[in-house]
Chain A
């Protein structure tokens, strides 16, 4: 059996998806609670001179 056939047999099931999605939700909630979205916003509403090759 080739490597990829073995890999296919180990194709992840829905449980792993729930775990990763759950981690995403938990991280986002913690981030919101810690005010990190404010940081995202503060950076995003100023022209980032580095990003446009000036800074």
Chain B
């Protein structure tokens, strides 16, 4: 497949630039400490563990769980505001273009090992896993799961591979005091990360497709978001090139409106008659 417009190169550049911007606090990596400046008042759209020594902004999922961890129940207006703003503008464009852990999985999938698969067997059921994680670990878990007398951010604690990759590994590599406290929980999280790393080489973005609660949230916004890929049905010659190129195997009529579409733009690159293109949401 030839990238006629260089769109996928642009996407890779955006992903790398965004990751550097949101995780580029070099002093933190060197000292094993985290950034404490004012930028951390704001959440970024993608998964962005704020315990990463390089993180310059806050993680929306971490912030949501932190709000749910409060002793008294409160509506997390600020975090909901971030979700609605990012979701209404981008939808799952965030996953395709702006998530550092998505970039990590994209790069792993480029490794020329194994025959590539778009989805896992049982995809029809497994794709609902991310909604289970959102409901079970993020919402219910963070509201009602206690460690002693303190509520725990259940998703971060038991699942988030981004926290292990971007937070734990860089911190533990330079901070001896933290290294001495490592126990079984870290073993579980490291094992999970390694499974996802191995799986990502063969399957396209397994974490995003099956486990990411952020993808579940932004997926709901997909059909309402400002950034849309428009399909001109009249111009379509039904060649199937877009579905073949789509990493999550969507038909042209599902592109952009499906909760699974990450708006990566590979369908636009593949279309021989350019009947798929970026467009803002339609006027009334």
Contacts and interface: CB of A to CB of B under 8 A. Distances in A.
Contact of B153 (A27, A38, A39, A50): A50
Contacts of B152: 50, 55
Interface string B82-93: 111111110000
Contacts of A52: 51, 163-164, 167-168, 171-172, 178, 186
B154 to A, nearest CB: 9
A29 B89 CA distance: 18
A8 B252 CA distance: 11
B29 interface: no
Given A25-B85, A37-B78, A53 B62 contact: no
B79 A31 contact: yes
Contacts of B178: 47, 52, 54
Interface string A1-25: 0101101100111111100110111
Number of contact residues on B: which range applies? Answer: 35 or more
A40 B190 contact: no
Nearest to A2: B253
Nearest to A31: B78
Contacts of B284: 13-15
Given A4-B254, A31-B81, A52-B171, A47 B34 contact: yes
Contact of B84 (A4, A27, A50): A27
Q: A-side binding surface: helix, strand, loop or mixed?
A: helix
Interface residues of A, number: 44
B70 interface: yes
Nearest to A28: B81
Nearest to A15: B284
Given A4-B251, A45-B40, A50-B157, A24 B88 contact: yes
Nearest to B84: A24
Interface stretch (B2-10, B195-203, B220-228): B220-228
Contacts of A39: 66-67, 70, 78
Contact of A44 (B58, B163, B226): B58
A35 to B, nearest CB: 9
A37 B199 CA distance: 37
B51 A20 contact: no
Contacts of A8: 231, 233, 253, 257
Contacts of A14: 281-284
Contact of B281 (A13, A24, A45): A13
B81 A21 contact: no
Given A4-B253, A40-B41, A54-B181, A17 B171 contact: no
B84 A44 contact: no
B76 interface: yes
B207 interface: no
A51 B153 CA distance: 8
B183 interface: yes
A16 B223 CA distance: 10
B41 A41 contact: yes
Contacts of A15: 284
Q: Which 7 A-B pairs have the closest CB atoms?
A: A31-B78, A28-B81, A24-B84, A27-B81, A53-B186, A31-B77, A52-B168
